[in-house]
Each structure stands twice: as structure tokens, then as C-alpha cells.
A and B are shown apart, each in its own frame.
Chain A
Amino acid sequence: MDNIVDLEKHFQDRIDAEQRIEPKEWMPDAYRKTLIRQISQHAHSEIIGMLPERNWLTRAPSLNRKAVLLAKIQDEGGHGLYLYSAAETLGVTREDLLDDLHSGKAKYSSIFNYPTLTWADMGAIGWLVDGAAIMNQVPLCRTSYGPYARAMVRVCKEESFHQRQGYEIMMALCEGSEEQKQMAQDALNRWWWPVLMMFGPKDDASANSEMSLKWKIKRFSNDELRQRFVDMSIPQIEYLGLTVPDSELKWNAERGHYDFGEVNWNEFWEVVKGNGPCNHQRLETRKKVYEEGEWVREAALAYADKQQVLRESSQHVA
């Protein structure tokens, strides 16, 4: 089977038969590229996503919240790591991927370019941002590339507490004082629309969707997942006694879904292009962290090299 057409057919047959593709197997170049782009984008999102929550970690209003939030942010770091590892099975190094992030070539989820302004944002992020992420991620546990699917199984398993801790923060606020309720409503107002943007552009404007669906990297379209998220969130918002910042939102009995207003796609594309409130800040922070860590990484390698030489010379003596 050396003819490219045969190879591609065999590949697509395996995908259609729900078989997982594993590292080192033959795969179309575009499949590999799409995966590297998507997995690394996902990994970067986890790492950058640590920053907005880190912003309130040191101000968490109880020891319990502090411990939970730290564990949660730490998990995000772990998820970034699983995903970088999955990407590395495709023949790129983490260093390459980070270089692309730092140069602005690689993207990450736009949601993390919004600021966290009050403690309630920790609730909104855990509940809504992680909730939307889970909705995107659960289907990825069955994505066609084996290492990615396995990383996602691990991620999803760990994420399950993230959303609950966020909702619990919101519940505490909504059961609290008038100021706390306002804080919760304000957070919902600011995060609702950006969260809906997390599902990506509308299906007819999504450049990568069609092939990704065919290759079963993706399993549902952006609009399908967005609708599902809205349907799921409304009862949760109602339970909290908060108001959705969308005047067009209403139940459509005929469709069996909520109708909702149009996302501000102009804002979406502006943030993607780098003009969101925190794009610059987030990226500069990551670059600085990476540069400041350089001497540590170098020193550890230098030490490992010396130890290696010592081991080898002692073997010669023996």
C-alpha cells in the first residue's frame, strides 16, 4: 500500500470504523497539522487559563476556597501538560509549541483574554467557562487520535469537580448579602457572552470544521454544542435567581430548545486578533515566566549532564 490514494482510503476507513489512530501510523499531513494546531491550542489555553484564576488565588476569602482554587488551577497545569505530551507524539517538541505561543503564531482560547475583576469571577469561571469547556471536551474523549482521546479522558475525569466548585461559589454569593448577589450578577453579565464565544464561530463561518468532523477529530458542530450549553445553563441560572443578560432569550417549545440572541462576532474576532482586554497582558506574562525560568531549566540540564559523565566514568573504572 504505497499509493497515497490507497493510504488515504485505508485511513478514512479506519476512522469510519471508529478505530483510533496511533502515533507513527500513516496519517494525512493535514490531519497531523490539524491535530497539532488543535491540541497545542488546547494546551496553551490550559496554561494561559491559569492566570486569570491565579489573580484571585491569593485573595480567596476562606481557607477552604483557597485550597480548592489552588488544587483547581494546579489541575489546569496538569491538563496543559497532558495535552502538550499528546501533541509531542505527533513529532513536535514542547519547546516548538511554546515558541509558537510566544510569537503569537499559536492561538489559545479567547475567554482567557477577559479580566477577573471580583471574587465572583472565580465562581463564573468554574461554573460557566469550565462548563463550556467540558461540553467541548467530553466528545473529544472519543476523538480519532488515540493519545489525544486518552489525554481528554483524564482531563474530563478531573474537570468534574471544577464546575461544581464554581457553581458552589455562585450559590454562596446568591444566598448571601445584596452586595454578594450583585457581584454574582455582574460576573454573569460579563462572562455570559464570552463563554458562548468559546464554542467558536458559527458553523458556516468555521474554517476548520468540515474536515475535523470528517476525520472525527470533532464530533459535534460549534452551533450544536453552543445550543446544548445554553439549554443546560438556563435552569442553573434560574436556580441561582440571576438574570441572563440576553433580552432575546426565550424557550422555543417547537424546537425544544432556547432561542437566544446573536453573539457579538465582531468582538469575537477582535479578541482572536489580539485586541481583547488582556491579550497583551497574558502573553507578556507567559513570555516573562518562560524567560525567567530559562536559567533554572539550563541548570538542571547541566547538573544532569555532569551526573551522566560521573556515572559513565565510574562504570569505566569498574
Chain B
Amino acid sequence: MEKNKRDWPLWEVFIRSKQGLDHKHVGSLHASDAEMAIENARDVYTRRMEGVSIWVVESKYLHASNPDEEGALYESAKSKIYRHPTFYNIPESVGHM
């Protein structure tokens, strides 16, 4: 095969399905540059009116947490139940709070 044969870079695609919602990861695709990645995302992931806004990021720039460190990362939050509204007992008579 030829010497500098290489794939177009891989991009991760995030789509906002409706005004006001978060962008959500929908998949990935290949494109030679960012502009093309956005257009390809439009063609590939919004063929059925799934989106109003598209983000793309080259996959190599995406850093992920290590799944094996699940405990270290998330265990701590589990014990902080006082962060949730249901932790507190407020009489119903005071109305919605």
C-alpha cells in the first residue's frame, strides 16, 4: 500500500435535538476538516430532523475518565446525600419549596 495512506480523522458528533436542550453524543464519523465534519454530521445524523445544533470534536482531543477508576471518581458523591432535596424533612403545610 502507499506510504502516506491514512484515514480522514475521526470526529465525535454531539447534537442538540431541540432548542434549550443539552447537546448529546450521537456517534462519530470521518472528515478531513472541521467544516466537513459538521456538514457530514448534518447529512449523517440529522436526516430525520433530529437536530438544531451540531458540535464536532476531533476524537483525539476527547479525554475520557478511566472506567477502572469508577470507585475513585464517583463513590465520594454517593455519600453526600445531603446534596439532594429529598434529604430534608419540611412540613407539607409550608407549601412548595
The short answer to whether A and B are in direct contact, CB under 8 Å, is yes
User: Given A74, A93, A300, A303, which contacts B47 in the complex, CB threshold below 8 Å?
Assistant: A74
User: Given A23, A74, A85, A294, which contacts B29 in the complex, CB threshold below 8 Å?
Assistant: A85
Chain B interface bracket (under 10, 10 to 19, 20 to 34, 35 or more): 20 to 34
Q: A24-B66, A25-B68, A301-B6 are in contact. Are A78 and B32 (CB under 8 A)?
A: no
Measured in the bound complex, the distance between the Cα atoms of B27 and A158 in whole Å is 15
Measured in the bound complex, the distance between the Cα atoms of B27 and A88 in whole Å is 11
Q: Check if B29 sits within 8 Å of A75, measured CB to CB.
A: no
Interface of A, secondary structure class, is helix
Give residues of chain B (1-43) contacting chain A, Cβ–Cβ below 8 Å: 1-2, 5-8, 10, 26-30, 32-33, 36
Measured in the bound complex, the distance between the Cα atoms of B33 and A303 in whole Å is 9
Nearest CB on A from B76, distance (A): 20
Contact of A206 with B by CB under 8 A: no
Using an 8 Å CB-CB cutoff, how does the interface string of B52-68 with A read, 1 for contact, 0 for none? 00000000000010111
Nearest CB on B from A301, distance (A): 5
Q: Check if A88 sits within 8 Å of B68, measured CB to CB.
A: no
Interface core residue of A22, A294, A304 (most chain B CB under 10 Å): A304
Residues of A within 8 A of B84 (CB): none
Q: Check if B10 sits within 8 Å of A304, measured CB to CB.
A: no
Residues of B within 8 A of A304 (CB): 32-33
User: Given B7, B47, B64, which contacts A78 in the complex, CB threshold below 8 Å?
Assistant: B47
Contact of A307 with B by CB under 8 A: yes
What is the count of residue pairs linking A and B with beta-carbon distances less than 8 angstroms? 50
Count, chain A residues at interface, CB 8 A:
28
Measured in the bound complex, the distance between the Cα atoms of B33 and A307 in whole Å is 9
Q: Check if B64 sits within 8 Å of A24, measured CB to CB.
A: yes
Contact of B80 with A by CB under 8 A: no
Q: Check if B27 sits within 8 Å of A95, measured CB to CB.
A: no
Measured in the bound complex, the distance between the Cα atoms of B47 and A94 in whole Å is 22
Nearest CB on B from A136, distance (A): 21
Give residues of chain A (38-90) contacting chain B, Cβ–Cβ below 8 Å: 74-75, 78, 81-82, 85-86, 88
Q: A78-B44, A94-B30 are in contact. Are A24 and B67 (CB under 8 A)?
A: yes
Q: Check if A300 sits within 8 Å of B64, measured CB to CB.
A: no
Measured in the bound complex, the distance between the Cα atoms of B8 and A286 in whole Å is 19
Closest to A302 in B: B32
Residues of A within 8 A of B28 (CB): 85, 88
User: Given A94, A150, A154, A307, which contacts B7 in the complex, CB threshold below 8 Å?
Assistant: A94
Contact of A26 with B by CB under 8 A: yes
Residues of B within 8 A of A301 (CB): 6, 8, 32
Contact of B48 with A by CB under 8 A: yes
Interface core residue of B27, B64, B67 (most chain A CB under 10 Å): B27
21 CB contacts below 8 A, A to B, read A22-B67, A25-B67, A25-B68, A74-B47, A78-B44, A81-B29, A85-B10, A85-B28, A85-B29, A88-B28, A94-B7, A95-B6, A150-B27, A151-B27, A158-B48, A297-B32, A300-B36, A301-B6, A301-B8, A304-B33, A307-B33
Measured in the bound complex, the distance between the Cα atoms of B66 and A150 in whole Å is 20
Measured in the bound complex, the distance between the Cα atoms of B68 and A44 in whole Å is 32
